[in-house]
Structure 1
Amino acid sequence: MTGPLPAPRRAAFIFIFITVLLDMFAIGVIIPVLPRLIEDFMGGDTARAAITYGVFGTAWALMQFLFSPVLGLLSDRFGRRPVILLSNFGLGLDYVFMALAPSIGWLFIGRLISGVTAASVSTAGAYIADVTPPAQRAARFGMLGAAFGAGFVLGPALGGLLGDIDPRLPFWVAAGLSLTNAMYGLFILPESLSKERRGAFSWRKANPAGALQLLRSHRGLWGLGCIHFLSSLAHVALPSVSVLYMGYRYGWNAQQIGLLLAGVGIGTIIVQGLLVARAVKWLGERRTMLLSLGFGAAGFLVQGIAPNGWWYCIGIVIMSLWGMLNPALQSTMTRLVDSAEQGRLQGANSSVIGIANLIGPLLFTQIFASSIMGHGRWELPGAPFLLATLLLMAAGMLALRVMSNALQTSLDTSRAVGERG
């Protein structure tokens, strides 16, 4: 299963780019309204809504943690295309379910379902590794990140506008987008993993612990996985408390929040679509990662202490450069495993994110809720962002230790693959 990688297929990359773009647009549409819908079910109590939203996030992450390794290995065994199609059809039906949810309990069940089916993004990472030579993967992962950003440009803005009309309407729109995406994939998306390059499926490897063993089986992967975990945990602060934080501290409504999130998406497009490839070329992957972690920590710090909305927006601009981290990190990690393990690697990465998402929502929402419950002299609603600052600083210190060894190992692996080819 260690044959040479296929020649790059630009058309295949465009197909997967559009798939991720539509998927992220569907997710972006509901971001401004889901916390507010929970808040409505909670009778308008922001602190209780924050805690409940944290439970929702943890439950979603648990499903991701349990099922992402399974889907990753299934994509190694049966191909990327069927897993992506299953995910998109499942998400579309789940959005319909949540649009009709009559109570907080039904809405919770909907989030559990989406946690099981939302695997197209991680499988897309394996797809990119299939069709892209190692030297170009950082740039391609950056473009994939740009698809995230493009989806978040119009998605949250539209979701905010629709949410002001009816908080359920964005869920219907998201359902239509996901089902359209599934039909697009059914008729157009090609398979990226040839049958001769597919691996065997094993339940021992499919469980989360088995998936994480991959990170320990290759030199350098474990340290990179720890950096990925710390960065992912810090990132959870944003979806967990940002919407509630902006509404509580600055009094912004769903439309204003949606427009701001669209601005975040524009920043992501610029950074990951235009800057990542140049940064890696000029600075190398190690310096790019360190620089991006520094910008991320600085951005969180500014957001955590911002006295008004303008300063909060400045923090977002600074933080946008943190987006250079994942493309460089993923590119390095994919060069440490062969083609038959790319799906398993993406499953392991999803498990790392799943662990972060298991811990993060309750951690950050509890900190936020505790910081506003007293409404007193020592109130610090930005406390979750300050904790995220510390996590990225720790990731930066770890990166200083592990990146030089990991890069050397990846170079050795690339040479070995070239010699086998």
Structure 2
Amino acid sequence: MFAALAGSMAMMAYVAVIGPAARELGLPEWVPGLSITIGGVFWMALARWWGGVSDRHGRKPVLLIGFAVFALTYFVLAAGVDMALRQQMSILATIALLILTRALIGAVYAAVPPTTAALIADCTPPPQRPARMAKLGSANAVGMVLGPAVAGGLAAWDLGLAFHAAAALPVLALLAVFLGVPRRTDGTSSGGPRPASGVRLFDPRLRLASATALIAMSSVAVAQVLVGFVAIDRLQLDALGGARAAGLALSAVGVAQIVAQQFVIRLKAMPLNRWLWLGASIAGAGFACVPMVTTQGQLLASYAVAAFGMGLVFPAFQAMAANAVQKHEQGAAAGTISTAQGLGMVVAPLAGTLLYRIAPGLPYLLIGALLLGLALFAGLRRATVPPSEPTSPQAQP
């Protein structure tokens, strides 16, 4: 859990400080956006592959490699930013540094989410997986809140220091994995031949979980990208006031997600379909209210309600995926879900901003409708308690 927290903090710290760094370095606005997008593309492209590697070679080696290269690349990035701030690097070299290092970070960090989710699935009986996935989600949510906050505070003193501090986080995660994760936790240590993973990219067993992951991450990405615009346009704030309101809204999101996931941790007996129905209903209603906000309090409340619902949805679809496949397929299944999330992170911000130009409320109404449709579908499905282990590689969820 600590490794997931540290990794999430490091990833989100970059998002918080790259804007001010770009201004200080005189870089055009598209450079930070492109670097973040490139990282997301590599994450999406390689998450499933990393999950399969962890199925074949074990969770711990994959996590160690991922965090080690993550840390090394981040320190190269931090050193390069220091040189650029001292005017020891050209603009073109700085742009290349940001894009290439972020691409490599996205490529290796792609190993972390599916492998940590598979590690939890390996060590947890199916009825307890939603609660454990919720703990993992809480760690990631705390990281998403603390990372930008700590990095932003350090950047006020020294931009270079903020990058170096962020680079130290994957080192701590590396130590946590090295000391805390057993060498084998996934059954790969047995002497017999390992069965090949039967998980396909569009595996019917993962259809609902993948669709939910795509809708959920798309909703989160749209909400994150547009919150500043909504604060300025709907609340009639200036740029500074809009940034402050957006920061408060995103902080409320983190707190609401953590609170929601505590409910999942404590109410272990509730079927996964019911969590999905409840969470998607709440989140859809929260997002649908955003176009009607006229005060900062209403904006915070709408985002908090939506985030509370999303905090119920995320552990539900992660546990659904884990319960739908066999033990030797956990990494590939988690990688497939991570790929769906990555697709949402890459495509949704662009689609959301284009829809916002057409009508400011349209992207929120669309994601609200998608979530409410998902809730309706989940409500119509027969609520079942997952079996302890699927009996066939092609078993339906």
Answer yes or no: same fold by TM over 0.5. yes
Aligned: 1:30 with 2:14: yes
The answer on whether the counterparts of 1:149 and 1:267 sit within 8 Å (CA) in structure 2 is no
- Note the C-alpha offset of 1:320: 2.5
Letter in 1 for 2:177: G
Inter-partner Cα distance in structure 1 for 2:156 and 2:216: 33
Partner of 2:39: 60
Letter in 2 for 1:25: M
Partner of 1:193: 186
Inter-partner Cα distance in structure 1 for 2:361 and 2:108: 33
**TM-score normalized by the length of structure 1:** 0.77
Deviations 1:242-284 (A, max 9, x none): 4565577643476775565444323222211x20134553x53
Structure 1 stretches lacking a partner, 5+ long? 1-16, 372-379
Letter in 2 for 1:226: A
| Aligned partner of 2:387 among 398, 411, 418 | 411
Partner of 1:117: 108
CA RMSD of aligned residues (A): 3.2
Letter in 2 for 1:284: P
Aligned: 1:130 with 2:111: no
| Aligned partner of 1:157 among 137, 140, 149 | 149
Query: Structure 1 residues 154, 60: closer, same or farther in 2, change over 3 A?
Result: closer
Kindly report which structure 2 residues correspond to 1:297-312, keeping only aligned pairs within 5 A, or say none: 297-312=284-299
Inter-partner Cα distance in structure 2 for 1:122 and 1:289: 20
Aligned: 1:295 with 2:282: yes
SS of corresponding position for 1:335? helix
- Note the C-alpha offset of 1:26: 2.2
The answer on whether the counterparts of 2:2 and 2:176 sit within 8 Å (CA) in structure 1 is no
The answer on whether the counterparts of 2:52 and 2:332 sit within 8 Å (CA) in structure 1 is yes
Query: Structure 1 residues 94, 308: closer, same or farther in 2, change over 3 A?
Result: farther
Deviations 1:130-183 (A, max 9, x none): 100111101111111111123234322222222333444432211011112213
Partner of 2:99: 108
Inter-partner Cα distance in structure 2 for 1:108 and 1:143: 32
Inter-partner Cα distance in structure 2 for 1:258 and 1:288: 28
Letter in 2 for 1:267: A
Letter in 2 for 1:275: F
Inter-partner Cα distance in structure 1 for 2:102 and 2:15: 13
- Note the C-alpha offset of 1:392: 1.8
SS of corresponding position for 1:404? coil
Letter in 2 for 1:76: D
Inter-partner Cα distance in structure 1 for 2:245 and 2:293: 17
- Note the C-alpha offset of 1:98: 3.4
Deviations 1:339-391 (A, max 9, x none): 000011011111212222332232224445x46xxxxxxxx555443332233
Inter-partner Cα distance in structure 2 for 1:189 and 1:346: 18
Query: Structure 1 residues 404, 127: closer, same or farther in 2, change over 3 A?
Result: same
Aligned: 1:19 with 2:3: yes
- Note the C-alpha offset of 1:231: 1.8
SS of corresponding position for 1:411? coil
The answer on whether the counterparts of 2:48 and 2:335 sit within 8 Å (CA) in structure 1 is yes
Inter-partner Cα distance in structure 2 for 1:86 and 1:146: 24
Query: Structure 1 residues 168, 265: closer, same or farther in 2, change over 3 A?
Result: farther
Inter-partner Cα distance in structure 1 for 2:243 and 2:162: 12
Query: Structure 1 residues 162, 334: closer, same or farther in 2, change over 3 A?
Result: same
Query: Structure 1 residues 259, 84: closer, same or farther in 2, change over 3 A?
Result: farther
Aligned: 1:396 with 2:375: yes
Kindly report which structure 2 residues correspond to 1:307-322, keeping only aligned pairs within 5 A, or say none: 307-322=294-309
Inter-partner Cα distance in structure 2 for 1:382 and 1:97: 41
| Aligned partner of 1:267 among 244, 252, 256 | 256
- Note the C-alpha offset of 1:324: 0.6
- Note the C-alpha offset of 1:89: 1.8
Between Structure 1 and Structure 2, how many residues are aligned?
372
Query: Structure 1 residues 321, 258: closer, same or farther in 2, change over 3 A?
Result: closer
Structure 2 stretches lacking a partner, 5+ long? 85-93
Letter in 1 for 2:108: T
Aligned: 1:347 with 2:362: no
Decide which moves more: 70-79 or 58-67. Answer: 58-67
Query: Structure 1 residues 36, 388: closer, same or farther in 2, change over 3 A?
Result: farther
**TM-score normalized by the length of structure 2:** 0.81
The answer on whether the counterparts of 2:128 and 2:268 sit within 8 Å (CA) in structure 1 is no
Inter-partner Cα distance in structure 2 for 1:94 and 1:363: 30
The answer on whether the counterparts of 2:118 and 2:334 sit within 8 Å (CA) in structure 1 is yes
Query: Structure 1 residues 98, 308: closer, same or farther in 2, change over 3 A?
Result: farther
- Note the C-alpha offset of 1:32: 2.6
Kindly report which structure 2 residues correspond to 1:370-389, keeping only aligned pairs within 5 A, or say none: 370=357, 381=360, 383-389=362-368
Query: Structure 1 residues 25, 32: closer, same or farther in 2, change over 3 A?
Result: same
Inter-partner Cα distance in structure 2 for 1:87 and 1:240: 27
Query: Structure 1 residues 105, 307: closer, same or farther in 2, change over 3 A?
Result: farther
Quote the sequence identity (%). Answer: 25
Partner of 2:90: none
Letter in 2 for 1:232: M
